Structure 1
Amino acid sequence: MGEDVTDRGYTGMELEEAARKLETSEEYRVLRLFKPQDRYGQAATDGMTSVAFLDVESTGVEPHDVPIEIGVVRVEFDPATGELGKVLERYQGLQDPGRPIPEHIVALTGITDDEVRGRQFDEASLKALIKRSAIIVAHNAPFDRGMVEKLFPWMEKRPWGCTCLDIPWQAAGISSKKLEFVATMRGFFYKAHRALEDAEMAAAIAGKPLLEGRPAFHWVLENARADWYRLWATDAPYEAKGRLHAAGYEWKDGKDGGHKAWRILTKDPVGEAEWLACEVYGYRGKALLQQVGRNDRFSERFDGEEWLSMARG
């Protein structure tokens, strides 16, 4: 059979040859339309396990909002290197939220009331897929984890990773962590804001080499295996808010019944406490430390808490 010809008369091979020539010049950057792959890396060794890349589309981002679409792609990986392998299975499902989908969500996702009417997620299929996975990974895991746990409490005791927060994108010269931007910097464009497409893209960027020849997924695994702590800068002076925000702290208003304070997730609570003492409290104050279990990262759960004094005797 002859090769497919585009509407402008060029074959796919001719276009690819032109793209490769452009890539040799520093004056051009080539973006390719992303298409789901059969594999997202070349790993094929003994001892392979699998990761579930998951994405949620919802009625919004507020506490009362609910999922309307879930997409998952399960991919093999080498736990020693973080290199991805072949795709094992996929899941995509829609669910009726029981109320009209807001217009701005329809515009963003293309998901309409007619499309979800009467639909429900296939919980049995989703649960079986997740059970076969060693870890769940999302791009902005705090959001996706919170959304799916509203519907499926059995997801609560699963380890999670995040292709947005766990990977050193800025160190690799990628200034924004937004999925569409990272995809562009990695050479792709695609239709964003549909669950399975976003999950596939998370797998694609995780599988590509980033620094030192290591796949980006290496850092997701490294962080998932680490011990994490949540540090609350309670009663921090108002004038320190700029420094706290610049240092990666997030403000929690306490409306959910939790603490009203700035907080950060860290692997180095001692170093973080020293920074707070010097830059925020002036050695007069105290911070609240919570140990976060490995299965509870990106959730609001924690194993226990203690106060760290910033006072010097």
Structure 2
Amino acid sequence: MSNQLAVDRDAAVEDGVVRVLHPLRMREGSTGEGDGPGSYVGVAIDVETTGLDANTGKIIELALRRFRYDRNGVITDIDEAHEWHEDPGEPLTPEIQALTGITGAVLEGREIDEEAATRLLRSASFVVAHNSLFDRRWVENRLPGARGLNWCCSMSQVDWKARSFDGKVLGYLLVQAGYYHCGHRASADVDAMIQILRHRDSDDRTALAEMIERGAQPGWIVRAKGADFGVKDLLKGRGYRWSSDDKVWWREIEDARLVEEQFWLAGHVYSMDANPKAICPDLERVTARTRFL
């Protein structure tokens, strides 16, 4: 029976029915790709925290790894991994312990090397996290010397659907790329991020190249100030997100789509029939230095 199972498994793999996943082992040094060593430096970062609110919570684990890339967005070299733990001075909730596998005993008396972490972040052209809208606030609250850097996001600034992926969650992207890792630990997520940024589409273009191009373009944060509760489903369907801090629906728009978006809002959110509490949205110009805040 076991021999038959092995035969069936091997046949399924050969026919493409089953994909074999490989453990992700990020190795320091040259990747053997691109025009190496690359002339440009990026740094991937991830944090584990005591909760979801960056204003009241604390970082308990911070990991980062620098990498070099060439002008085509190909990662040519991977630097050593850096990881720190920090005692939050309060007990971790059972939910956070279960999610991360981190306990109070691991954190007791530990702290982030603020000088070293800041120096590494400032040595790169940009910082990338898989959800920079979450990570950036935590990092800048804890490391004030690293404020005002260029940030990119491997989740929102890559069109993963166009690359034939079914979602944007980091672990799932990695699985579809043929790997698995120990998720919800900062260092593992950093390595997973670097790996998916190496992904090439049908035109041989890396996800990193796509992300950098999109991240370098300025845009507009459009806040649907004064929108009536009755249009929330329209806004959500349009791609707007609810900000619990500002109590407003918002989204980022590229320059070329700003006028189109203003016309849409005028007809659906700020018309008399929509019962608006304002006459127009708030607009804020954003760049890589100000995005995700």
TM-score by length of 1: 0.83
SS at match of 1:214: coil
In the alignment, structure 1 residue 25 sits paired with structure 2 residue 12: no
Match of 1:212 in 2: 203
Which one is further off, 231-240 or 160-169? Answer: 231-240
Query: Which residue among 99, 105, 110 is the counterpart of 2:101?
Result: 110
Please say if 1:77 is aligned against 2:77: no
CA–CA separation in structure 2 for the residues paired with 1:132 and 1:117: 30
1:223 aligned partner: 214
CA RMSD of aligned residues (A): 2.3
Amino acid corresponding to residue 248 of structure 2 in structure 1: A
Q: Do 1:40 and 1:207's aligned partners in 2 also have CA atoms closer than 8 Å?
A: no
Alpha-carbon deviation of 1:169? 0.9
Cα 1:40–1:290 shift into 2, 3 Å: farther
Output the CA distance in 1 between the equivalents of 2:26 and 2:36.
Answer: 23
Q: Tell me, which stretches of 5 or more residues in structure 1 are unaligned?
A: 1-7, 9-14, 300-313
Contact 1:41/1:208 (<8 A) preserved: no
| 1:297 aligns to 2:291 (yes or no) | yes
The answer for the alignment partner of 2:265 in structure 1 is 276
The alpha carbon displacement at 1:101 in A equals 1.1
Distance 1:65 1:22, change over 3 A: same
Q: Which of 177, 195, 198 is matched with 2:189 structurally?
A: 198
- Distance in 2, matches of 1:279 and 1:173, equals 33
Q: Which runs of 5+ in 2 are unaligned?
A: none
Residues 114-133 of structure 1 aligned to structure 2 (within 5 Å): 114-133=105-124
1:66 aligns with 2:58: yes
- Give the alignment of 1:1-313 within 5 angstroms: 23-38=13-28, 39=30, 42-45=33-36, 48-62=39-53, 63-78=55-70, 80-253=71-244, 256=245, 258=246, 260-267=247-254, 268-282=257-271, 285-299=279-293
Q: Provide the rounded CA distance (Å) in 1 between the counterparts of 2:163 and 2:37.
A: 30
Give secondary structure in 1 for the equivalent of 2:20: coil
Question: Matches of 1:54 and 1:132 in 2, distance apart?
Answer: 13
Corresponding residue for 1:302? none
Shift of 1:217: 0.7
SS at 1:172 equivalent: coil
Deviation at 1:212, TM superposition (A): 2.1
Match for residue 12 of structure 1? Answer: none
Query: Could you give the per-residue CA deviations for residues 211-236 of structure 1, whole angstroms, max 9, x where no partner exists?
Result: 52211111210122101210011122
The residue type paired with residue 27 of structure 1 is: V
- C-alpha contact 1:19 1:30 (8 A) present in aligned 2: no
The question of whether the paired residues in 1 share the 8 Å contact of 2:22 and 2:178 is answered with: yes
Shift of 1:105: 0.8
What are the Cα deviations for residues 140-167 of structure 1, in whole angstroms up to 9, with x where unaligned?
0111111111111122210001111111
Work out the percentage of aligned pairs sharing the same amino acid. Answer: 28
Please tell me whether the aligned partners of residues 22 and 30 of structure 1 are also in contact (alpha carbons under 8 angstroms): no
> In the aligned structure 2, how far is the partner of 1:46 from the partner of 1:192?
29
Contact 2:126–2:150 at 8 Å: present in 1 too? yes
Identify the range of structure 1 (95-104 vs 202-211) with the bigger mean alpha-carbon deviation. 202-211
Separation in structure 2 between the aligned mates of residue 216 and residue 224 of structure 1, nearest angstrom: 12
CA distance in 2, matches of 1:37, 1:294: 29
Q: How many aligned residue pairs are there?
A: 279
TM-score w.r.t. structure 2 length? Answer: 0.88
| Distance in 1, Cα, partners of 2:236 & 2:89 | 37
Q: Which moved more, 1:25-34 or 1:141-150?
A: 25-34
| 1:24 Cα deviation from its structure 2 partner | 4.1
